[in-house]
Amino acid sequence: MTTAIFYDPVFLEHDTGYGHPESPDRLKSIIRGLRENSILEDSRFKILKPSRASIEEISLIHDPNYVRYVEDFCRKGGGIIGTWGGGVVCSGKSFEAACYAVGAAIDAVKLSMDNIYPRSFCLVRPPGHHAEYDYPYGFCIFNNIAIAAAYLIRFRGVDRIMVLDLDAHHGNGTQHAFYDSPKVFYISIHQDAIFPGTGSINEVGVGDGEGYTLNIPLPAYSDKEVYIEAIRRIVKPIAMEYKPEILLVSAGFDPYHDDPITDLGLTLEGFREVYREVIDISRICSGRIVFCLEGGYNLECLRIAVASVIALMEGIEFDLPREEVYPPPYLKSRALSIIEAVRGIASSYWRID
């Protein structure tokens, strides 16, 4: 079974300026890693150019007036759009890049639901999970993964979608988009007490969506063992009961222990083991799983870790540099206590053994 990789050079044209952590170099490093590991030439992977999402498709999640404002803003040359979180840097081509990023996510979920390419990885910029209904936020312009989920609900009649957000930062935009809906189960594992300041364990949804949002905010230096504990003891049991029709993953690589803007503790090998657990969960939904790139700002980590995760989808493993990370014992204990607290909250809604 072939794994699809969505990519287009247009994503490099989203120019955030000198020294910005969310730069085109991120994707250049990932592509270099794929070449070094012969993934681009391997027949088990299919490189696909995404479609360009329409304003109507983007408006499944965003205010149409906001979408047109971004288009006009970028046509005039760009700059810093909005003031939330310091604003988001846009260039003249950022709107085009953002439309194709959304298009990649929509294409991926269509092909997954049709069992043409059940597994795929969208190598896109700008990222999306912070973008809100009518404003950009945290390097994000449009919420790629949320729009893809909304597309499945509106046009494909999908009733159970699980979104697993593994970025170091909480996906406030994705959570808000489906906070009152049982059709999207949003679970985020993120670093506590950093941008954007949302994602506490008490945020569980409202109305019909109560119990369909779950946040696991971890302390700094949380490592592979902590992540796997959270996935095995919380995410997987819930997925087995919820029975999603497709699993969407906000694939952030900023939980890396040497990321320049976060403080978590995953190693290169840790990413592969964590994502192995996630890929295993997709068995519940007949192997349908779509990854959308979110954050991750250490270029060497992106070069190696993303390739290792994409390769893993076809059962391929290659040697990874050995790294040793030793989280302070008191923080590891704190992380495990948070997992227990979240299990207690989740058990009010779901059967967790």
- Reported as a single tens digit per residue, the pLDDT across 312-339 is 999 999 999 999 898 899 999 999 999 9
Q: Which two tokens stand for residue 72?
A: 């006009």
- Reported as a single tens digit per residue, the pLDDT across 168-178 is 999 999 999 99
Q: How many residues does the chain have?
A: 353
User: Rounded to whole angstroms, how far apart are CA atoms 10 and 96?
Assistant: 7
- Among residues 328, 330, 311, the alpha carbon closest in space to that of 319 is found at 311
Alpha helix stretches (DSSP H) within the chain: 25-36, 55-58, 64-75, 94-113, 144-156, 172-177, 224-230, 236-242, 268-281, 299-301, 307-312, 329-346
Measure CA 283 to chain center: 19
Q: What pLDDT, on the 0 to 100 scale, is given for residue 85?
A: 66
User: Rounded to whole angstroms, how far apart are CA atoms 298 and 312?
Assistant: 21
The verdict on residue 170 lying in a domain is: yes
The verdict on residue 169 lying in a domain is: yes
* Apex 240 CA angle, 284 and 242, nearest 5: 100
Domain span at 202: 3-346
Amino acid identity, residue 113? M
The verdict on residue 352 lying in a domain is: no
Alpha helix stretches (DSSP H) within 49-196: 55-58, 64-75, 94-113, 144-156, 172-177
Cβ(47)–Cβ(88) under 8 Å? no
Report CA torsion sign: 173, 182, 50, 61: negative
Catalytic positions: 130
Q: What pLDDT, on the 0 to 100 scale, is given for residue 327?
A: 87
- Reported as a single tens digit per residue, the pLDDT across 28-42 is 999 999 999 999 999
User: Rounded to whole angstroms, how far apart are CA atoms 264 and 258?
Assistant: 8
The verdict on residue 262 lying in a domain is: yes
The verdict on residue 353 lying in a domain is: no
How many domains in the chain?
1
CA dihedral 229, 232, 237, 238 (to 10 degrees): 60
The verdict on residue 86 lying in a domain is: yes
**DSSP-assigned letter for residue 295:** -
Residues of the chain with pLDDT under 70: 1, 84-85
User: Rounded to whole angstroms, how far apart are CA atoms 204 and 210?
Assistant: 6
Please report how many Cα atoms fall inside a 13 Å half-sphere around the Cα of residue 18, on the Cβ side: 0
CATH of the domain at 161: 3.40.800.20
User: Rounded to whole angstroms, how far apart are CA atoms 352 and 19?
Assistant: 45
Q: Which two tokens stand for residue 116?
A: 């043409």
Q: What pLDDT, on the 0 to 100 scale, is given for residue 298?
A: 98
Determine the longest span between alpha carbons in the chain, in angstroms: 56
The verdict on residue 106 lying in a domain is: yes
Report CA torsion sign: 53, 57, 60, 66: positive
| Contact partners, residue 131, CB within 8 Å, separation at least 6 | 62, 137, 140, 141, 142, 143, 146, 173
Helix/strand/coil for 9: helix
The verdict on residue 351 lying in a domain is: no
Whole-angstrom CA distances from 163 to 188, 235, 293, 320, 325 are 8, 11, 13, 28, 28
Report CA torsion sign: 172, 176, 179, 183: negative
